[in-house]
């Protein structure tokens, strides 16, 4: 999560089911509701080279390896894709395959060999910032082949100072840098020169082409698709008007910034701010145990208990609220990972509202949907809140896939862009208090945006039925 105005790769995800009518299930088609962005289609053409005997799984892996290198550019361009596994839903029947003979034009005596070229079209619906309204075509360069082998060399010219961590160059790749552009131009000249030597020959390609490090594509953005912002969470189901319920159970998980043992850990302080803010707005709240500092929060549960009065047309009722808050690591040692997995699994089953505030760890935390099964989720209506980097891309689709009933029982508010650590506790408190007041999604998004100072283009968005 970001701590200042120049923040990268952090996303807030809230998962909730919504309805147009306050006591009925939604009749809206799944579309994205956002104050800062809109839904748009994205498509472009590219290709990969694979061995002639490569199976579909190997081809899909090669395609995904290439497409992941667009992530950094999309993030900079304020676009959020549906899934970091770009190629997951591609149909192999849509691929065009061609076996070619590879000739080394620089060494004519070298033996030729065969390779398979696979052309594909990438198509998806993305979340695009309002700032992209006048953008219809994006020119971008992707990394080709097994670029991991050249990672150290590529970092020198094709990454900024933000990263330089082994294994994540796909995130840090910056083809726009002048030093990288020079590499791209020089490679293009070599490929064109080899192509001229092979002019007139069919079924062949050059080793310069096959071994290329870069491939430039033209991506097209479709028209804007805007949903009805006045849709609301399904309050009838959430508060027990449509089915008996006497308690609203909310799990709030706070991740660790650097060290939970440090009382100045920024995420620890935000968790404490959240608890204090909830106590300010609900002074009759019972807190177990009583807390004095962020350090006292680490690796322990804190329960908040209070009642709220809710109304539905001519019906009024009192419902008990129980917030089960935990601040601790969700990555780290194997023991810490197992413990985090167990906590999340418990929450997925018991929670009416699930909230996570922390880091995404590039989607590699114990929160990732692939670590759970549909049996870990109940079929009731549920809201999930995940405040972390790019969780629109890392988590959103996976939770829809795992949740029984999918979008019928789950909506999501997700940030496709940057969210901040600073004031994130206030963001979460505003969200919950807005729910207790039965605000619609436009009102909820606005209150959350104001809570973080309104300075970040977090691309916060609602998704669901």
Domain ranges in the chain?
Answer: 12-35+229-463, 37-221
Max intra-chain CA distance, the chain: 88
Rounded Cα–Cα distance for residues 171 and 164 (Å)? 10
pLDDT, residue 3, reads 53
For 47-66, the DSSP string reads EEEE-TT--HHHHHHHHHHH
Neighbours of 217 (CB within 10 A): 16
Tens of pLDDT, residues 401-445: 999 999 999 988 888 877 788 888 999 999 999 999 999 999 998
Distance, first Cα to last Cα, the chain: 28
Neighbours of 182 (CB within 10 A): 11
Rounded Cα–Cα distance for residues 418 and 373 (Å)? 29
Nearest to 460 by CA among 433, 431, 437: 431
Q: How long a stretch of residues is the chain?
A: 465
Range name among 189-193, 267-271, 451-455 with the lowest pLDDT average: 451-455
Range name among 186-190, 243-247, 258-262, 340-344 with the lowest pLDDT average: 258-262
Contact 114, 52 (CB under 8 A): yes
Label residue 22 by pLDDT band (50, 70, 90). Answer: very low
Region 204-213 average pLDDT: 95
pLDDT, residue 375, reads 93
pLDDT, residue 312, reads 86
Q: Provide the 8-state DSSP code for 403.
A: S
Contact 387, 358 (CB under 8 A): yes
Q: Cα–chain-centroid distance for residue 82?
A: 7
Cβ-based burial of 139 (10 A; exposed 0-12, middle 13-18, buried ≥19): exposed
Contact 30, 407 (CB under 8 A): yes
pLDDT, residue 300, reads 85
pLDDT, residue 204, reads 95
Query: Could you tell me the CA-to-CA distances from 451 to 98, 193, 426 in Å, in that order?
Result: 54, 57, 6
Rounded Cα–Cα distance for residues 273 and 346 (Å)? 25
Checking if the pLDDT of 260 tops 70, the result is no
Nearest to 435 by CA among 22, 32, 28, 34: 22
Radius of gyration of the chain (CA): 25
In 144-246, where do the E strands start and end?
A: 204-206, 214-221, 232-233
Q: Which residue has the higher pLDDT, 383 or 385?
A: 383
Nearest to 160 by CA among 138, 176, 140, 146: 176
Establish whether the linkage from the previous residue to 289 is cis, with ω within 30° of 0. yes
- Strand 96-103 and strand 204-206: the pairing is parallel
Checking if the pLDDT of 293 tops 60, the result is no
Residues in contact with 239: Cβ distance below 8 Å, sequence separation at least 6, in sequence order: 245, 248, 310, 312, 317, 319
Cβ-based burial of 312 (10 A; exposed 0-12, middle 13-18, buried ≥19): middle
For 112-124, the DSSP string reads PEEEEEEEEEEEE
Checking if the pLDDT of 11 tops 50, the result is no
Checking if the pLDDT of 14 tops 60, the result is no
Residues in contact with 441: Cβ distance below 8 Å, sequence separation at least 6, in sequence order: 18, 33, 229, 230, 231, 232, 233, 413, 462
Region 357-379 average pLDDT: 88
pLDDT above 70 covers a percentage of the chain that reads: 89
Rounded Cα–Cα distance for residues 430 and 451 (Å)? 7
Query: Could you tell me the CA-to-CA distances from 258 to 123, 263, 270, 338, 359 in Å, in that order?
Result: 38, 11, 13, 19, 10
Rounded Cα–Cα distance for residues 394 and 412 (Å)? 13
Checking if the pLDDT of 247 tops 60, the result is yes
For 284-307, the DSSP string reads T-EEES---SSGGGBTEEEEEEEE
- Strand 315-327 and strand 300-312: the pairing is antiparallel
Region 214-222 average pLDDT: 96
User: Using CA of residue 374, residue 376, residue 377, residue 383, what is the dihedral sign?
Assistant: negative
**Phi, psi dihedral angles at 150 (to 5 degrees):** -105, 15
């Amino acid at each position: 999560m970001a701590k200042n105005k120049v923040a990268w790769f952090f996303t807030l995800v809230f998962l909730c089911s919504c309805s147009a009518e306050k006591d009925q299930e939604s009749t809206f088609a799944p579309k994205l509701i956002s104050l800062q962005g809109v839904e748009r289609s994205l498509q472009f053409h590219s290709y990969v080279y694979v061995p002639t005997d490569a199976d579909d799984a190997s081809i899909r892996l090669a395609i995904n390896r290439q497409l992941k290198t667009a992530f950094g550019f999309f993030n900079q361009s304020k676009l959020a894709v549906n899934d970091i596994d770009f190629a997951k839903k591609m149909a192999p029947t849509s691929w065009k395959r061609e076996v070619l003979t590879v000739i080394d034009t620089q060494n004519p005596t070298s033996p030729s060999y065969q390779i398979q070229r696979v052309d594909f079209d990438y198509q998806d619906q993305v979340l695009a910032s309002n700032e992209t309204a006048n953008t219809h075509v994006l020119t971008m360069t992707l990394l080709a082949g097994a670029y991991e082998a050249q990672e150290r060399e590529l970092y020198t010219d094709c990454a900024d100072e933000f990263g330089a961590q082994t294994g994540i160059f796909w995130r840090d790749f910056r083809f726009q840098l002048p030093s990288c552009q020079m590499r791209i131009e020089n490679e293009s000249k070599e490929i064109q020169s080899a192509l001229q030597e092979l002019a007139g020959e069919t079924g062949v390609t050059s080793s310069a082409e096959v071994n290329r490090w870069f491939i430039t594509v033209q991506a097209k953005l479709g028209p804007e698709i805007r949903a009805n912002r006045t849709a609301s969470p399904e309050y009838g189901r959430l508060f027990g008007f449509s089915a008996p319920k006497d308690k609203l159970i909310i799990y709030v998980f706070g991740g660790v910034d650097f060290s939970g043992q440090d009382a100045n850990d920024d995420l620890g302080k935000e968790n404490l701010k959240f608890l204090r803010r909830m106590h300010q707005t609900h002074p009759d709240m019972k807190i177990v145990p009583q807390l004095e500092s962020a350090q006292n929060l680490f690796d322990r549960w804190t329960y908040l208990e209070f009642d709220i009065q809710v109304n539905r047309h001519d019906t009024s009722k009192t419902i008990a609220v129980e917030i089960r808050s935990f601040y601790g690591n969700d990555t780290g040692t194997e023991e810490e990972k197992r413990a985090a997995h167990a906590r999340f699994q418990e929450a997925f089953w018991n929670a009416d509202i699930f909230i996570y505030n922390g880091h995404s760890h590039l989607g590699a935390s114990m929160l990732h949907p692939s670590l759970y099964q549909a049996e870990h989720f109940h079929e009731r209506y549920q809201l999930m809140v995940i405040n972390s980097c790019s969780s629109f891309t890392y988590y959103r689709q996976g939770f829809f896939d795992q949740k029984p009933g999918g979008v019928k029982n789950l909506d999501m508010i997700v940030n496709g862009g940057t969210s901040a650590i600073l004031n994130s506790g206030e963001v979460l408190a505003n969200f919950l208090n807005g729910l207790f007041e039965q605000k619609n999604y436009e009102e909820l998004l606005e209150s959350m945006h104001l809570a973080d100072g309104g300075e970040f283009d977090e691309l916060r968005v609602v998704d669901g039925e």
